[in-house]
A and B are shown apart, each in its own frame.
Chain A
Amino acid sequence: MAVLRGFAVLLALQIAGETIVRLTALPIPGPVVGLVLLAVALVSYRPIGEVVEPAGRLLLQHLSLLFVPAGVGVISHLERLEGRYLAILAVLGTSTLIGLAVTAWTLQALGPPAVQHRRDGDSDEPPEHGTAESSGAPPATREDDENSNASRVTGDG
């Protein structure tokens, strides 16, 4: 059931994305607009994540598989490259390598991963867990504090 609920939400977001694309003539595919919509929804209201998570995890675990049908179509179009194989492969390959190197270098050179940076560099914790805990736990305790303060106030009053 959890997977189906998440899947329904994802499909609804895709419909929303496709609708926005058609109404505004945006040059972006509906699913990319849906991605932005879901990201905004998740950031403004975290619990949506639990609804989408089971279906999302299932789809992303096998994301590679989903590209296979389109990939097979590419093979049947390869003959259209005719005598230009070498030049085209050189362009695709070289520019991909250049882009990969420049992007990774830039982001790594500009700064270490955010968590280490924020903790002044001397944290020994693995960053992944650090983020999960620091983003999840503090708001919860703060809420608890507020609640207990509120009850104390009303109790005092």
Chain B
Amino acid sequence: MDDRSLEVLWVYLSGSPLLSLMLTLVVYLFASALFERGRRHPLLNPVLWSILLLSACLWLAELPYDRYFEGAQFIHFLLGPATIALAVPLAREFDALRRRAVRIGLALAAGLVATTGSTLLLVHLTGLDRSTGLSIAPKSTTAPVAMGIADTIGGAPSLTAVFSVLTGVFGAVVAIPVLKALRIRDDSAKGFAIGLVAHGIGTARALQIGKRAGAYAGLSMALMAIVSAMLLPYVMAWFS
């Protein structure tokens, strides 16, 4: 095969969804194997390493992100049905949830105030500009909700998506060792806390702890999305 035909092949492959789909799967499988091989060390988080390795691949192959996403969108699309499917573990815990409704409401309120309050305070202390602050404020909600909130309160939605994903990955990486150091033994408290601060990416991590942790993470992710979307615009208007 000469250079010319190689070039034709590359033009075909980089233009079709095949390459980026396969690349995403292969890199993710490799990152997952690494995670298991490393006895699930938090720093070997498969989402983190898949993102880093794929970014390196795209950079090496000079494949622009938009072109990559044309293929990877088929994976991205499944986030919708997967989010809905979180209702299955949630419903299984329904009896326990109903009995603990007040406690869960209090934990949600405490978590929401702690997360959003500390974010606003730290934005102020670090002297970040107002527009960046408004883009950071909704970072603990799932990316599409965070972008919607940012749009409402005057932040930059595309920047908010970056903050939301960074927060999710950071939360998923640190959650287990931090909760262990804090001596949190209750799986429902672990899951609820991870889902509250690190939304979907945290929920994916919580599901690896167990079904109960996953159910509570899905619950706090959904509650955080709903409550933040309703309250944050008022909180931000009140602060300014």
Residues of A that sit less than 8 Å from B by CB: 7, 10-11, 13-14, 17, 26-32, 34-39, 42-43, 46, 49, 52-53, 55-57, 59-61, 63-78, 80-81, 84, 87-108, 110-115, 117-118, 127-128, 131-132, 134-135
Asked if B86 and A67 make an inter-chain contact with CB atoms under 8 angstroms apart, the answer reads no
Q: Shortest distance in angstroms between B15's beta carbon and chain A's nearest beta carbon? A: 17
Chain A residues, Cβ within 8 Å of B69: 69, 72-73
Task: Say yes or no: A68-B127 contact (C-beta < 8 A), given A92-B163, A102-B110, A115-B96.
Answer: no
Most chain B CB atoms below 10 A, which of A11, A65, A87, A112: A65
Number of residue pairs spanning A and B whose beta carbons lie under 8 angstroms apart: 324
Q: Is B16 an interface residue (CB 8 A)?
A: no
Task: Say yes or no: A42-B83 contact (C-beta < 8 A), given A65-B75, A68-B54, A104-B190.
Answer: no
Residues of B that sit less than 8 Å from A by CB: 24-25, 27-28, 32, 46-47, 50-52, 54-55, 58, 65, 68-69, 72-73, 75-76, 78-96, 99-100, 103-104, 106-108, 110-111, 114-115, 118-119, 122-123, 126-128, 132, 136, 139-140, 142-145, 148-149, 152, 158-159, 161-163, 165-171, 174-175, 178-179, 182, 184-190, 192-194, 196-198, 200-201, 203-205, 207, 210-212, 214, 218, 220, 222, 225-226, 229-230
Asked if B184 and A104 make an inter-chain contact with CB atoms under 8 angstroms apart, the answer reads yes
Starting from the known contacts A38-B88, A71-B169, A135-B95, 14 additional A-B residue pairs (CB-CB under 8 Å) come to A28-B225, A32-B222, A37-B87, A52-B88, A59-B81, A59-B85, A63-B203, A74-B166, A91-B126, A92-B139, A95-B119, A96-B140, A100-B197, A101-B193
User: Which listed residue (B46, B122, B167) contacts A64, Cβ 8 A?
Assistant: B46
CA distance A112 to B84 in the complex (A): 28
A-B contact pairs, 17 of them (CB 8 A): A29-B148, A35-B222, A39-B90, A42-B87, A64-B28, A67-B204, A71-B50, A71-B201, A72-B55, A72-B65, A88-B163, A103-B111, A104-B193, A107-B107, A110-B107, A128-B211, A131-B95
Task: Say yes or no: A92-B166 contact (C-beta < 8 A), given A42-B91, A65-B28.
Answer: yes
Asked if A70 and B182 make an inter-chain contact with CB atoms under 8 angstroms apart, the answer reads no
Q: Is the interface of A mostly helix, strand, loop or mixed?
A: helix
Asked if B184 and A74 make an inter-chain contact with CB atoms under 8 angstroms apart, the answer reads no
Q: Is the interface of B mostly helix, strand, loop or mixed?
A: helix
Chain B residues, Cβ within 8 Å of A74: 51, 161-162, 165-166
Q: Shortest distance in angstroms between A120's beta carbon and chain B's nearest beta carbon? A: 14
Q: Shortest distance in angstroms between A16's beta carbon and chain B's nearest beta carbon? A: 10
Asked if A69 and B76 make an inter-chain contact with CB atoms under 8 angstroms apart, the answer reads yes
Asked if B80 and A31 make an inter-chain contact with CB atoms under 8 angstroms apart, the answer reads yes
CA distance A31 to B81 in the complex (A): 7
Asked if A67 and B47 make an inter-chain contact with CB atoms under 8 angstroms apart, the answer reads yes
Closest 6 CB pairs of A and B: A99-B115, A103-B111, A56-B85, A42-B91, A69-B72, A102-B114
Chain B residues, Cβ within 8 Å of A90: 122, 126
CA distance A29 to B147 in the complex (A): 10
Q: Shortest distance in angstroms between A38's beta carbon and chain B's nearest beta carbon? A: 4
Asked if B165 and A71 make an inter-chain contact with CB atoms under 8 angstroms apart, the answer reads yes
Asked if B143 and A96 make an inter-chain contact with CB atoms under 8 angstroms apart, the answer reads no
Asked if B28 and A13 make an inter-chain contact with CB atoms under 8 angstroms apart, the answer reads no
Q: Shortest distance in angstroms between B111's beta carbon and chain A's nearest beta carbon? A: 3
User: Which listed residue (A72, A98, A104) contacts B58, Cβ 8 A?
Assistant: A72
User: Which listed residue (B78, B123, B203) contacts A59, Cβ 8 A?
Assistant: B78
Asked if B165 and A29 make an inter-chain contact with CB atoms under 8 angstroms apart, the answer reads no
Query: Which chain A residue lies CB-closest to B96?
Result: A114
Chain A residues, Cβ within 8 Å of B80: 14, 30-31, 34
